[in-house]
Amino acid sequence: MRINRHLFISWVLLILLLSSCRPKSEDKDITVLNVMTHDSFAVSENIIQLFERENNAQVKFLLSGDTGAALNRAILTKNSPQADVFYGVDNTFLSRALSEGIFEPYASNLINELSEDLLLDPSQRLLPADYGDVCINYDRAYFSAHSLALPVSLQDLTLPQYRGLLVVENPATSSPGLAFLMATIAEFGSDGFINFWKELRANGLVVVNDWESAYYSNFSASSGKGSQPMVVSYSSSPAAEVIFADPPVDDAPTASLMGKNMCFRQVEFVGILAGTKQRDLAEKFVDFVLSVPFQEDIPLQMFVYPANKNAKLPKEFSQYAQTAKQPATLDPQLIADYRDAWIEEWTAAVLR
């Protein structure tokens, strides 16, 4: 039985050893601020340290799934809030988030530094923190090798020369997919968009469920080397292709189609969760998010644009990423009222 004892002891030792590798629990004197956000949230270490040192606080981020999952989590736990601040409600979820009453108003002094067209919540419960354009990215090599002209409008995508060349994400399961659906509704209206999608379907449209599959399995210009040279992604993706190129490249292998209403502008908001016990610190954090240092950190971390007009863009962005001149927009209230119906209509027309 000696070996049994050895086994038992080594098991205990192993657990002790592993637990000694665990991060130490935080200092008691430091206030902890909990920030709930989605999985795509990212920020530089030194930027958050700035805030933490200044306020003798520790910021803990709760990455809670995609945008919908994270918001749902905040709604479900509204009676015993798990966080003080929420980052990342977007304009497709805006009205829903507001009608659930999970945010407290906060009129930050920095509001006048933010782009006016992003201020979509007059009650000032949700303040814009960043924005990005969901656009179609195309494989530059494919289009030049086939001497194919670029589509300049959404309607162009139904032309026979683009047959089978576009992959989009399912709006029921993907946030860029939903954004692109909104762009088509802005262009063709809530009566006409379904016909457009039926034509797209007849023209060999490929639909997948998530951005990862679309980009890495289907898109021909990504490392996955798929078979569609056009994909619904972000206007900043070409910049990311340069930054994360391997081996380094001089020019982006992809670019975005920027025709009128071809891109949908996604705005992300930050807000203080109702029932927070640390209102002061939460206000300071919202101010910090809207201030220039944090805002200038956003592009290279999350590949979206800062909402603060004074924030400067990094050179990869000014060189390879563009924002749409005429992005599609929809009234958040309209989105809130019809999104479920639109998604159902879309599913019936495109998937069934």
Name the residue among 112, 99, 135, 238 with its Cα closest to residue 89.
99
Please state the closest distance from residue 49 (CB atom) to other proteins, in A. Answer: 9
Please state the closest distance from residue 215 (CB atom) to other proteins, in A. Answer: 6
Nearer to other proteins, 65 or 192 (CB): 65
Nearer to other proteins, 313 or 343 (CB): 343
**20 burial class (0-12, 13-18, 19+ CB within 10 angstroms)?**
exposed
Nearer to other proteins, 71 or 267 (CB): 71
CB atoms within 10 A of CB 3: 7
End-to-end, the C-alpha distance of the chain in Å comes to 64
Nearer to other proteins, 106 or 196 (CB): 196
Please state the closest distance from residue 117 (CB atom) to other proteins, in A. Answer: 27
Q: How many CA atoms lie within 13 A of 40 on its CB side?
A: 20
Nearer to other proteins, 91 or 261 (CB): 91
H-type alpha helices, 154-230: 175-202, 211-212
Q: Look up residue 195 and give its two tokens.
A: 């016909």
Q: 209 with 170: CB under 8 angstroms?
A: yes
Cis ω on the peptide bond leading into residue 247 (within 30° of 0)? Answer: yes
Using CA atoms, how far apart are residues 339 and 177, in angstroms rounded to an integer? 13
Q: Look up residue 334 and give its two tokens.
A: 């309209």
Please state the closest distance from residue 111 (CB atom) to other proteins, in A. Answer: 26
Please state the closest distance from residue 280 (CB atom) to other proteins, in A. Answer: 22
Using CA atoms, how far apart are residues 286 and 270, in angstroms rounded to an integer? 7
Nearer to other proteins, 118 or 299 (CB): 299
Please state the closest distance from residue 104 (CB atom) to other proteins, in A. Answer: 19
